[in-house]
Structures are given as structure tokens and as C-alpha cells.
Amino acid sequence: CSPLGDKREEIKMAALWPLLLLLSQHLWACLALTLPDEPHDGPPSVGFDASHVGPSVDLPGALRVFSLDYHHVQAPFEIVLWIMLASLAKLGFHWSGRVPAVVPESCVLIMVGLLVGGVIYGVRHSAPPTLSADAFFLFLLPPIVLDAGYFLPGRLFFENLGTILWYAVLGTLWNVVGIGLSLYGVCLLVPDSLGDISLLHCLLFGSLIAAVDPVAVLSVFQEMHVNEQLHILVFGESLLNDAVTVVLYKLFESFLRLPSVTGLDVLVGGCRLIVVGLGGFFVGLFFGLVAALTSRFTSRAQVIAPLFVFLYSYLSYLTSEMLHFSGITAIVTCAVTMKQYVEANVSERSNTSIQYFLKMWSSVSETLIFVFLGVSTIQDIHMWSWPFVCSTLLLCLVWRATGVLLLTAVVNKLRRNAVTFRDQFIIAYGGLRGAICFSLVFLIDDFPKKRLFITTTIVVILFTVFVQGMTIKPLVELLDVKRKKRALPTVSEEIHSRLLDHLLSGIEDVVGYWGQHYWKDRFEQFNKKYLRRFLIGEHHQARSSILRVYQELERNKTLIVPERKHLVNVHAFLFRVDPRPGGRPLLPEEMDSIRRILSRNLQNFNKKQTPAYSRHTLHQD
């Protein structure tokens, strides 16, 4: 950057930080106005419960020219102030010069939360408000998971689905059982201070501390631009890991409430783990198909078309939570199911609205979560134990590393593209903890060592986010981990990729092997023959597969191109046209002519039927 550019950034930062300080002072003043009338044991929870807010009734008296009724708008006013404070902190981070290249965004937001929490504690002389579990699981987590599911790279995800499930299910069980049993051994070695912690309490704590937070993982890995395979393995494992950890947490919580645990209870718990996962999948699949079908009839009311995407997704999450299924699995399944059909049914403007609103919504939720993680750290309920805290930190690293190495050694024997040792190290080192385990630890029923569990969880979160989050980027550069290709795919690349898919599917059919390409080709035929005809309007049906590829790529550029100023416009990038200032844009009739030519020559590409040979049907010599 030039000295003039740096000076401009310093001027902008000098104008931004006073605004941030003024807003935080305003927020502290509002919190000081609402001191609790009666003392309570724990810190107040910041949720969205506004039952105490109602219309004020003034006592009869003289007519007033000016009056203040803060309690009438207290709940929404404070929510807006928290969102504004978090957003300004995020804005200040991106205008802070070289800081984003060294420190992850999540670390800066947590530090802002620590600062705000410390000031609130100094002003009020009581614990600052904490983020309630209901507010987190019902309002802040769904937008982040919906954004991740809607923009999930489907091809990469399904090609690596077996490995992702292998890490998410067996890897999580490995970590939960290993950490729980090891911590119970530590408690037996230190009976004076930790002797009252039972085995079930250790397993319960192991289930929540093993929750790899997708919010923290996404915020770090998106800044590093690692290769697609590594990114989808880490992100997919963290996304599905939460479904397993939450189910295991509730299972051990139920065990603790039983007078005794029998073998039948353990068997029922294992069956419940399967039912919860499959139940969330089918709930999300149902609402995704309903959302796709609804979007087919929005051509006369395009303005409300994006609304159905958010409503059906959130409804799938709430329905799963109501039925005690996995809400995370449901909302991801719903987003992946409806995406291709919704994008084909709604207009380009509606698609752009969906994309930007999802990004904005998830970014605000993510920012609030990290700020409140810092705020909630300043409390009076901490309990310290060096053996327990240090053992937990060490065990989290050891059991995750050994689990990744052992599971990868098995899965590499079944994969064509083996997971390299460098990628295994990043997967093991990238197990960041975040708000999910923080919210779960507050839900534990009261017992003498609950405060120790809370303190240990906060220490693990701060260690993984600050130490591992700040050092993982230099480690990626030091190990020379393969990075993601910056160039966007062109139409010709997509055509060659699909040609190879058809070729590999034919080879699998010839040799009689039902591999992933075989099943993918069968699903594409079923999708084209039934689902697309039923869920997509006739006037939106693409007559040519190449046109559909072009439309998909163009929709992707709508969100990506404005953020990359060095790229040329979409059409020039796709077709390698020289975008000279004097160039004439194509007329509508010329574009229609191109589409007609492509349709006539390529619309029957997928319809060509060739004899399928199988080694099981060949004549024997």
C-alpha cells in the first residue's frame, strides 16, 4: 500500500473508533438504567424474551411536554444496540490495516467482548449479561447453518460424504469416550479436590467439550483459502459433529437423571442416536421439497419468493427441535434439497436477494456470538483447578490427533484421493471450540463442580480460538498446504467435467461396479425425469444442459464478481472475450440466436442412449 493509502485508512479509523466508543458508552448507560431490583445468583441472560416490556401507565398529573419511557422500548432497543456495537467492531476490524492478515476476525471480536464485559462489570459491579442457550440455539445458530448449507459445494460434499460421516460420527464418539474416561482417571488421581465428579459427569463434559464449532471453523478457514478437499472435510465434519455431540449430551444428561443405568438404557440410547439423525434428515428433506414446490408458483409474486426460503428452512429447524431431532441436520438437508429448484424458479433479482440476505444474516449472528463469548467470560462464577483444566486442554489435543490419524489410515484405503499427512495435521489442529460447547455447559443441572466445568470450557474456547486460530495460518504456509484455485470455473471446464462424469459412469456400468458415478448418473436421470418436471415451472425448464450450466455459473458470479474488482465482467470471463472499452455488447436478438444454436445442437446430449454392457451379461466363450 502507498503511504497516501495508509494515511487515508488511519483517518477513516480515527473517525470510526470514536463512533464505536460512543455507542458502547450508550449501551453501558442503558444497562445502568436497568439494574436488577433483587439480587440473583447467576449473570443475567441476554435473550429475546420481552415479557416484562409493556405499555407504561403514567400517573395522573400535570401535562408534560417531554417524557422518557425507556422501559417501553427496552428489549428491542438493547438488541439493536448490541447488533450495532458488534457490527461496528467488525467494520473496524476490516479497516484496521494489517491486523486482518495476522489476527483472525473471531479473536478481535472476542477481545471487543472482553473489553465491553470488563467495563460493564466495572460500572455495574455485577456480572455482565450472558448469551442464553435458547437465544443461541433458536435465533443465532440457524442463520449460520442455513448459510453454510445453502452455499455448500454439493459436488465436493457428496463425493466426500463417506469420509465426512466417518470423521463426524466415529471421530466424535472416539473423542467423547476418550476425553470422558481420561478425565475420570484424572479425578481419581486427585480425590481431594475432584473426587466428587462421577463417570457420567465426565462423559457429559466430554460430549460438550468435543463439539467442534462450525462458526469458529468457518471464520478461520475461509480466510486461509485452503484447497477444496481439505475445506469440505473440516467444514463438513464440524457441521455434522454438532448433531452428534448435542445428541450425546442429551443422552448422558438423561442418564444422570436416572437412578441407575442398565444395559438396556445404553441400547436405547444408541438407537436414539440413529433416530435423531435420520429424523432430522427426513424433516429437512420434506420441508426442502415443499419449499421447492412453493417457489414454482411465485412467478406472479416474485417479491415474496425469497421469504419462503427463510421460512421453510427455519420451520424445518424448529420442527426438528420440537420433535427432539437434530435441527442442524434438518436445516442443512432442507437448504441442500431446495437450492437447485428454487434458483431455477425465482428471478435473478430474487436469487441475488437470497444470497446477500443469507450472508448478511449469518455474518451478524456470527459477530454477535463471538462478542458475547467475550462478554460472558467476565463473571463471578469461576472455579479453578490446575489438574482438571490442564488435563482437559491436553486431552482435547491428544484424542483429536490420534482419532484423525487412526480414522484416516482406515479411510485412505478406500479413497482414490488419499488425505495427505499435511491435511491430517490441519484437520486435527483445526478442531476449534466455540459457542456450542459454551451454551451447552450452562444447561448442565446444578451440582458442586458445575462452575469448574464452565471455567474449563471458557479456557478451552479461548485457547483454541486464540492460540490455534492465530497459528493455523502460518502453519498452513509453513507446511505448504495446497491452496484453493482462485480462478472461477468456465463453461468449457464444466462441460469437460460432466463429460468425464459420464465417461466414468459408463466405465463403472461396463465393469459391473456400482460406484459413486453410477449412482450420481442414476440420480441425475431421476431428477430430470421426475423431480425437475414436478418442482420447476415449465417456463423455467432449461432446454439444454449447457444452458443450465451457464445459468448456474452466472448466478454464482452475481455474488462473487462485486467482491473481486480485478475480475472482468461475467460474459467476458466465461467466453474469454476481450472487454475493451470500445467493444459493443451483444444485442438481445443476438443472445437469442446463440441460445437457439446451443439448444438445437446440445439439447439431446443427455438423451443419447448407448448399449450398456456388463461383464455379468457377456456370452461365455
The greatest distance separating any two alpha carbons of the chain, rounded to the nearest whole angstrom, comes to: 110
Domain assignment of residue 519, given as a range: 492-525
* Per-residue CA distances from 338 to 146, 252, 314, 610 (Å): 12, 35, 13, 32
Residue 504's pLDDT is what?
A: 80
Residue 54's pLDDT is what?
A: 44
The CA distance from 210 to 432, in Å, is: 10
- 387 and 511 fall within a common domain: no
CB atoms within 10 A of CB 16: 15
For the residues of 598-610, what is the DSSP string, one character each?
Answer: HHHHHTTTTT---
CB atoms within 10 A of CB 99: 14
Residue 618's pLDDT is what?
A: 40
pLDDT surpasses 50 at 608: no
Which pLDDT band holds residue 278 (cuts at 50, 70, 90)?
very high
What does pTM read for this prediction?
A: 0.78
pLDDT surpasses 70 at 26: no
Residue 240 lies in a domain: yes
Residue 161 lies in a domain: yes
Give the total number of structural domains in the chain. Answer: 2
Residue 388 lies in a domain: yes
For 9, the grid coordinates are 485508512
Residue 511's pLDDT is what?
A: 76
pLDDT digit string, tens, across residues 404-450? 999 999 999 988 788 999 999 989 998 888 888 988 998 898 888 99
Percentage of the chain modeled with pLDDT above 70: 75
Q: CA 364, 368, 371: angle at the middle one, nearest 5?
A: 140
Residue 320's pLDDT is what?
A: 95
pLDDT surpasses 50 at 38: no
**pLDDT average, residue stretch 376-403:** 91
Up-side HSE of residue 7: CA atoms within 13 Å toward CB?
A: 3
- 267 and 333 fall within a common domain: yes
pLDDT digit string, tens, across residues 472-488? 888 888 888 877 766 66
Bridge partners, 483 (sequence order): 226
CATH number assigned to the domain comprising residue 245? 1.20.1530
- 138 and 205 fall within a common domain: yes
- 185 and 270 fall within a common domain: yes
Residue 545's pLDDT is what?
A: 59
Q: Any idea how long the chain is?
A: 621
Residue 9's pLDDT is what?
A: 54
- 503 and 387 fall within a common domain: no
Residue 140 lies in a domain: yes
Q: According to the per-residue pLDDT averaged within each range, which of 33-37, 152-156, 378-382, 578-582 is highest?
A: 152-156
Residue environment code for 498-535, b if the CB has 16+ CB neighbours within 10 A, otherwise e: beebeebbbebbeeeeeebbbebbeebeeeeeebbeeb
- 351 and 499 fall within a common domain: no
Query: Which H or E element spans position 232?
Result: helix 228-257
- 249 and 342 fall within a common domain: yes
Residue 238 lies in a domain: yes
Residue 616's pLDDT is what?
A: 40
Bridge partners, 360 (sequence order): none
- 415 and 516 fall within a common domain: no
Residue 565's pLDDT is what?
A: 42
Percentage of the chain modeled with pLDDT above 90: 29
Of 14 and 92, more confident: 92
- 351 and 227 fall within a common domain: yes
**In 3D, which of 604, 504, 475, 461 has the Cα closest to residue 546?**
604
Residue 389 lies in a domain: yes
Which pLDDT band holds residue 310 (cuts at 50, 70, 90)?
very high
Which pLDDT band holds residue 581 (cuts at 50, 70, 90)?
very low
pLDDT digit string, tens, across residues 311-344? 999 999 999 999 999 999 999 999 999 998 998 8
Lowest average pLDDT, out of 364-368, 479-483, 503-507, 543-547, goes to 543-547
Average pLDDT, the chain: 79
Residue 614 lies in a domain: no
pLDDT surpasses 80 at 613: no
Residue 157 lies in a domain: yes
- 197 and 303 fall within a common domain: yes
pLDDT surpasses 80 at 71: yes
- 394 and 520 fall within a common domain: no
pLDDT surpasses 80 at 456: yes
- 515 and 387 fall within a common domain: no
**pLDDT average, residue stretch 196-204:** 93
Which pLDDT band holds residue 67 (cuts at 50, 70, 90)?
confident
